[in-house]
Structure 1
Amino acid sequence: MSRTAIIAGAGHLPAALAAALPSPLVCTLDGFTPAGLAVDQLFRVERLVPFLRALEDAGVTRVVFAGAVQRPRLDPSLFDQGTAQMVPRLLAAMQAGDDATLREVVAIFEEAGFAVVGAQEVAPDLVPGPGILCGTPGASDERDAARAAAIVAALGAVDVGQGAVVAQGLCLAVEALPGTDAMLDWVAQTARRPDPNGAKGVFYKAPKPAQDRRIDLPALGLETLKRAHAAGLAGIAFEAGGVILLDRTAMIAEADRLGLFLWAREP
């Protein structure tokens, strides 16, 4: 019987995917433990080839990547011969940016004979289609969301980020290496709208234009809602079919409680 391996990082997404799979093999990069999920196997990049063989021995035929990781510090003394031969291609990809690194990782798993699938294939209910899930965006919110979508597309084209905050047509902040939480915290502490009584602003999230959507699909959770509310925003818009909601029911209830809209916007 074929088996799916979850290559898990930090956060709640791995557990959400595990709940949608029969007997998944949960594997995690050493140092990046998923929330609320027991790990079957730890691995290190320096021992990637033995890890791929262990997946095959366990009956794994497909893998899904889920959760947050950072580039690990490599220990040259731990490399096996097979993995050492991959080092030049991995380093070249890392120097080209996050997207190139992820594409190279996918290629390595595919070359080893595994089908790489996206979270949206494993658990399609996690990725909402077009529609307003909660609240009612106004005309100014729609304009701000459109402006933010254009900014995110431009950022993504140069492999920078997947989110932006726009209010009254002005970009208050963009997502970079520190991530979504840091961006929203900065808006809460620093950003000022030109008209204090005007539109509050919108946080928009979307995949990068050329991104392989089988890996690193952007995700939104309850913490994002709380930070968006603290930042004084009117709501959150995101690309329909391109963003994961970690707990849709809980997020809709919380957005409603906070008075925020949630909008899966058609690209």
Structure 2
Amino acid sequence: MLALVTGTGALPAVVAGAQSSPPLVCALEGYAPDGLQVDHWFRIETIGTLLHTLKQRGVTDVCLCGAIQRPGFNPLRLDARTMPLVPTIAKAVKAGEDAALRAVLGLFETRDMTVRGAHELVPDLLPPSGVLTQVRVPDDIDLQVQAAEEVSIEQGRVDEGQSCVIRSGQVIAREDARGTDAMLRGLLERPVKPMPPPGDDPFAAAMDFVGDMLDDAADWLSGPVAEARAQPGGGIFFKAPKPGQDRRIDLPTIGPDTARAAVAARLDGLVLEADGVMVLGRDEVVRVLDEAGLFLWVR
């Protein structure tokens, strides 16, 4: 029997709908999946009871799918079956998000449950390699992609997000805990302006520039980065798994909302790592990008 341990979003329903028999749907409290009836709610403080319940129900395979932000933890709500697991979980959390996820996988595996990736259960979630849109990839994109790959590796080393935006060879946005679509929307919310000419009052001009920088809340944006972000459009969205991550869990995902956000940000296109990024609603993603003149390259 398959159990889905879910967060929010459309992915859990896609996985459930592709199975020959309905899976058991277990959702983290506060993170209901879209379009699915939840069979069992749980908290981090009661994960021991969740594991016991799954064994009692005859679960043999588990798929962790859906989005969550780092949930809160209240020691006062720990139950008896979770108490023995606290040292293992606490040690993993201190080591970073990836270590914590691997520790969670281990909890299922030590109870003879096989952890399956969403892309294993629904292979079509991984798009084929190549350019999927009618819009072709520009000839001068190699340097942009190289810069994006370097940023992706750097983000992976510090256990951060899985995507970024590159414009004019500069990284102008990085994914954080808020997710991919929030990163893209942020490109429209607070553009950073390049240093204006001093005019008659250079002190006032400098103060205005500093105010803009503070309002943007991104002190790493300066010089050529600020100028790149202030451009009206262009650039690429890049998404790939973190180096060395366990691909059975937290594999990057995009969908139609990501495509629309990229269009709104007036990017040139999207580049995804082959066999490393799932695409929900692929036909709709391609349609949105083609209509807006953006490319989708799986490389």
TM-score (norm 2): 0.83
Name 1:186's counterpart in structure 2.
186
1:45-95 deviation digits (Å, cap 9, x = unpaired): 222222112112222101001001123223333322331111122112112
1:66-105 to 2 correspondence within 5 Å?
66-105=65-104
User: Could you report, residue by residue, the CA deviation over 1:204-231 in whole angstroms, capped at 9, with x for unpaired residues?
Assistant: 0000001100000110011111111111
SS of structure 2 residue aligned to 1:139? coil
Structure 2 segments unaligned to the other structure (5+ residues): 193-226
Question: Residue 257 of structure 1: CA displacement?
Answer: 1.5
Cα deviation, residue 104, structure 1: 0.5
Going from structure 1 to structure 2, the CA distance change for 1:196 and 1:102 (only over 3 Å counts) comes to: closer
Give the C-alpha shift of residue 8 in structure 1: 0.8
Q: Which residue of the partner structure matches residue 263 of structure 1?
A: 297
Cα displacement string for residues 180-226 of structure 1 (whole angstroms, at most 9, x for unaligned residues) = 223212223415538959x8100000000011000001100111111
User: In the TM superposition, what is the alpha-carbon distance from 1:240 to its structure 2 partner?
Assistant: 0.7
Mark the CA change 1:9 to 1:105 in structure 2 (over 3 Å): closer, same or farther.
same
* DSSP 3-state at the match of 1:140: coil
Distance, in Å, in 2 between the alignment partners of 1:196 and 1:52 is 51
- Separation of aligned partners in 2, 1:195 and 1:59: 56
**Structure 2: distance between partners of 1:196 and 1:102:** 38
Query: How many residues of Structure 1 are paired with residues of Structure 2 in the alignment?
Result: 262
Given that 2:69 and 2:177 are in contact with CA atoms closer than 8 Å, whether structure 1 keeps it comes out as no
Tell me how far 1:166 sits from its aligned partner: 0.7
In structure 2, distance between residues paired with 1:77 and 1:158: 31
1:45 aligns with 2:44: yes
Higher mean alpha-carbon deviation, 171-180 vs 63-72, is at: 171-180
206-215 or 66-75, larger mean C-alpha shift: 66-75
Identity over aligned pairs, percent: 42
Alpha carbons 2:172, 2:229 under 8 Å: kept: no
Q: In structure 2, do the counterparts of structure 1 residues 211 and 231 end up closer, same or farther at CA, with 3 Å as the change threshold? A: same
**2:64 & 2:229 partners in 1: Cα distance?**
41
User: Which structure: larger Rg?
Assistant: 2
Distance of 1:238 and 1:188 partners within structure 2: 22
In structure 1, distance between residues paired with 2:28 and 2:255: 22
Runs of 4+ in 1 over 4 A off after TM superposition: 194-197
Letter in 1 for 2:9: G
Aligned residue identity for 2:228: R
Q: CA RMSD in A?
A: 1.8
Distance 2:112 2:70 in 1: 24
Q: 2:281 maps to which residue?
A: 247
Shift of the 196–48 alpha-carbon distance from structure 1 to 2, 3 Å rule, reads closer
In structure 2, the CA distance between the partners of 1:106 and 1:194, relative to structure 1 (3 Å rule), is: closer
For structure 1, the residue ranges without an aligned partner over 5 or more in a row are none
Superposition deviation, residue 251 in structure 1? 1.0
1:95-244 equivalences under 5 Å are 95-134=94-133, 135-189=135-189, 190=191, 192-193=227-228, 200-244=234-278
